[in-house]
Chain A
Amino acid sequence: MLEKDYRRLFASLRESVDWQFELPATMNDFFDRQGHSAATGLNVRRSPRIRTRHKAVMHFSDPLPAFPRPAMPVAIYTNDLSRTGFGCICREQLYPGERVHILLPNCWLEATIARGRRLGPECFEAGALLSAAHLLENPGFRLPPWAASRAV
C-alpha cells in the first residue's frame, strides 16, 4: 500500500514541478553519461560516485532562517550518488546547510546541502551529504512526513 502511495506521490510531484530550466550547452550528453565517475583534482571523497541521471524532485525540509523556501517541491536532475553523498542540478541556487528531501523512483533521501556551483543562467549544481535513505523495498519504509497527506 505504502509502495503504491509513494509511487503515486512521486509521479504526481514529478508532473507538477516546473521543468523549465536548461542545462548548459556543454552538458548536452548529460543523460547519456551514466555509471562510475572518477574523482578529479582536489575532490577528496570518501566513497566512489556513480552517475545516476534522472528527473527527480526535491523538497526543502528545513530551510535556513534567512532564506525561506516554497513548501512546494522543486524539479532537479540527479547527477551522481555515493554511499554518503548526492549531487544534483536545479534551477535554484542551493545553500550549504539547507536540509532537503530528495524523491527518486525507488526511494527518498534525507540530505544536507554541502556546496553549490553555478553552471549557467538559472542552472546550479549542488552537492549534499546524505543522512538517511528510505528504500521502498525496506519493510520499515515510510513516506516523507510532509507528503503523507498528499499521497492519500
Chain B
Amino acid sequence: MTPPYVMISAAALRVGQPLGVDLYLHDLSTNQLGLYKQADYALHASDLEQLRVEGKRHLYIHREAQDRYHEYLRLLVSDDSGDTPLAARVGAMDEVVRETLRECFASDDPNRIVNTAGTLAQMVLRVLDGSDFTTAELLQVVQHDYSTFTQSANVAYFATLLAKALGLPSADLGPIIAGALLHDIGQQEISDAILCKPGRLDDYELHLVRQHPLNGFRKLCRHDALLDGQLMMVYQHHEKIDGSGYPVGCVGDEIHPWARLCAVVDTFAALISIRPYRGPRTHERALQIMEFDCGLAFEPEMFQCWKKIIEDCSRA
C-alpha cells in the first residue's frame, strides 16, 4: 500500500508565501506525523530558523497534495526576479531534480530519461550559473540520504562547480550536468537488497554492483542525442587513472575528461552521504580519504581544484 504522506525538503520552503498544502512534522516522541502548518499559513523566517535549530530537514505532505507542491517548486525554481531567496530556489531545484529523476528512471524509457536529464540540466544550470550562490549555500541544501537520485543530483551540482572552476567552456556545462544526472542509471538494475545492504557485500554482490557502468552504458548507447563525453561519464566514472578501475581498466587519457571529472565529484558525494553501513564523512575527512588516491584514481589537477573549492567554502 502506498504511504499517504511523502517527505519533502525543508530547504525548499520560502518565507512569506503560503505553500498551498498542509505541512506535517514527524514527532519523535509519538513516532507519528502531526500537523505543523496549514495550507494557507505564510511561513515566517523564525519558523525556518526554528526548523534549522531543531535539525528538522524534512517535512511531510499528503500524497494527494504532491502535484500542487511540485507546481510550487517549479514556480520557485523559475523565479529569477530576485524575490525568492537563493537558498529556497536551490532547495526547490534539488527537490524537483530528485523527484523528477525518481519518476523518469522508474519509467525505464531511455528516450524519456535522456530528454528529462537534458531539461533538468538546463534548470540546474540556470539556477547555479545564473546567480551568485555560494558553494557553502549549495552544500547546506544538498541531501545526504543514500539513494541513486540523491547521489545523481549531488554529482550534477558538484560537477557544475568543478567544471566551472576548471574553466571548461560554458557550452559544455549543460551536457556535463545532464551526463552527471545519468551517470548512475545502471544502478536501476541492482536490487535495493544489495544497494541498501548494511553489511559488507559478498563477491557476487560486488560483481553485480560493478556491472552498473556497463548496464547504464548499454541502456543509453544507442541514443543519438547523447555526446560521447556524456556516455563516457556513465561508462567510465569508476575507471581510475592508474588502470585499477572498472569496467575496462583504462588508464590516464583513455578516460574521457568528463568521466575523470565525474569520478572526483562522485567519490566526494558518496563519501559525504549516509550509507547503509556508515554515517556521512565530514568534508575534510572526505578530502583526506580522496587525497590518498590522488594521482592513482583521480587526476591530480581535478582533485586539487575540487579540494580548493571545498576548502575555500569551509574557510568562508
Contact = CB atoms under 8 A, between A and B. Distances in A.
Given A64-B222, A66-B228, A96-B214, 17 more contacts: A64-B221, A65-B222, A65-B223, A65-B224, A65-B226, A66-B224, A66-B226, A66-B227, A66-B230, A67-B228, A93-B250, A93-B254, A95-B235, A96-B235, A116-B247, A118-B243, A118-B248
A96 B226 contact: no
A118 B249 CA distance: 6
30 contacts: A42-B204, A42-B207, A64-B221, A64-B222, A65-B222, A65-B224, A65-B226, A66-B224, A66-B227, A66-B228, A66-B230, A66-B231, A67-B228, A67-B231, A93-B248, A93-B250, A95-B217, A96-B217, A96-B218, A96-B221, A96-B235, A97-B218, A115-B247, A116-B248, A117-B247, A118-B243, A118-B249, A118-B250, A118-B251, A124-B248
Contacts of B54: none
A66 B232 CA distance: 10
Interface hub of B221, B230, B243 (most chain A Cβ within 10 A)? B221
Nearest to B213: A96
B288 to A, nearest CB: 30
Contacts of A116: 247-248
Interface hub of A66, A93, A96, A118 (most chain B Cβ within 10 A)? A66
Contacts of B243: 118
B27 interface: no
Interface string A38-77: 0000100000000000000000000011110000000000
B203 interface: yes
Contacts of B231: 64, 66-67
Interface in B167-224: 203-204, 207, 214, 217-218, 221-224
Contacts of A97: 217-218, 221-222
A97 B219 CA distance: 9
Given A67-B228, A97-B222, A42 B203 contact: yes
B221 A95 contact: yes
Contacts of A117: 247-249
B209 to A, nearest CB: 12
Interface string B233-245: 0010000000100
Interface residues of B, number: 23
B225 to A, nearest CB: 9
Contacts of B230: 66
Nearest to A43: B207
Interface of B: 203-204, 207, 214, 217-218, 221-224, 226-228, 230-231, 235, 243, 247-251, 254
A87 B235 CA distance: 20
Contact of A118 (B204, B227, B228, B254): B254
Interface string A90-102: 0001011100000
Contacts of A93: 248, 250, 254
A69 to B, nearest CB: 12
A44 to B, nearest CB: 10
A115 B247 CA distance: 8
Nearest to A98: B221
Contacts of B222: 64-65, 97
A93 B243 CA distance: 14
Nearest to A95: B221
Contacts of B248: 93, 116-118, 124
A10 to B, nearest CB: 29
Closest 3 CB pairs of A and B: A65-B224, A97-B221, A66-B228
Contacts of B251: 118
Contacts of A65: 222-224, 226
Nearest to A126: B248
A93 B231 CA distance: 14
A118 B247 CA distance: 9
A42 B202 CA distance: 12
Contact of B221 (A42, A66, A115, A118): A66
Interface in A115-133: 115-118, 124
A42 B246 CA distance: 15
A24 to B, nearest CB: 12
Contacts of A96: 214, 217-218, 221, 235
